[in-house]
Amino acid sequence: MWTREIDCRLAYIRRNQERIRREDAELMGRDDLDEATNVFLPSLFLGSFRWCSEQVSDALAIASHLGNPTFFITITANPNWPEITSRLRPGQSAADIPMVVVRAFHARIALMLTAISNMFPNVGPPIYKLYVIEFQKRGLPHCHLLIKFKYDCVTPNDIDAIVSAEMPIDGSDIALELT
C-alpha cells in the first residue's frame, strides 16, 4: 500500500512539473536542464535532492549557531543481536526479516541516546542531537550521530574520563587470545 501512496505522489509531481521547475531551478542554481527529461522532486518529497539539501543546511545551521558537536558516533546494526536471532526461522537470515531488524535497531538507538545523555556528567546536558540512519547494501541499518554537550572536552583528563582502552588480563578473554 505504501508504494501506491508514493506512486500517487510522484504522479502528482509529474503533472505539475512546470510550476515545480520554475521554483526549484532557481534554488538549485542550475540553468542547463532539459525540461523534457528532468523531473524535479520538491523538498516535501522525502529523499529528494531538495529535501536532502534542506536537511544538511538545517544541520549546518544548528552546528554554526550552537557550536561544533562534542561527539561523532557511528552505530551499526548487528545481525547477531538476540532480539533479531530469536525471531529467525530455520534457514532465515536477518535480511529476510527487515521489519524486525529496523525495530531492534531503533530500540538500540533509543537506548544509546539515553545512555549517552546520562553517561557523562562532566560534560553537562546535551544541547543538540542530530542523526541520520542509512542502510548498507546487505540491508542492515547504521546511524551517524552528532551530539553537542553543554561543556566541551578540552583537556586530556576530560577526554580520558570518556574514552578509555585497556589490555585484557591474561586468560580473561579466550576469544581475544585466539585472534
**Chain segment 68-97, per-residue pLDDT in tens:** 998 889 999 999 999 999 999 999 988 888
Contact at 8 Å (CB) between 63 and 71? no
Closest CA to 94 of 142, 143, 139: 139
- Going from N- to C-terminal start, the domains of the chain cover 2-53, 67-163
**Chain segment 122-175, per-residue pLDDT in tens:** 778 889 999 999 887 777 899 999 999 888 777 788 777 777 777 767 666 666
Closest CA to 147 of 74, 57, 52, 56: 74
DSSP helix/strand/coil, 124: coil
Contact at 8 Å (CB) between 25 and 31? yes
Q: Which pTM was predicted?
A: 0.70
Which grid cell sits at 116? 549517552
Listing from the earlier edge strand, what are the strands of the sheet with 141-149? 71-76, 141-149, 126-135
Which grid cell sits at 108? 538500540
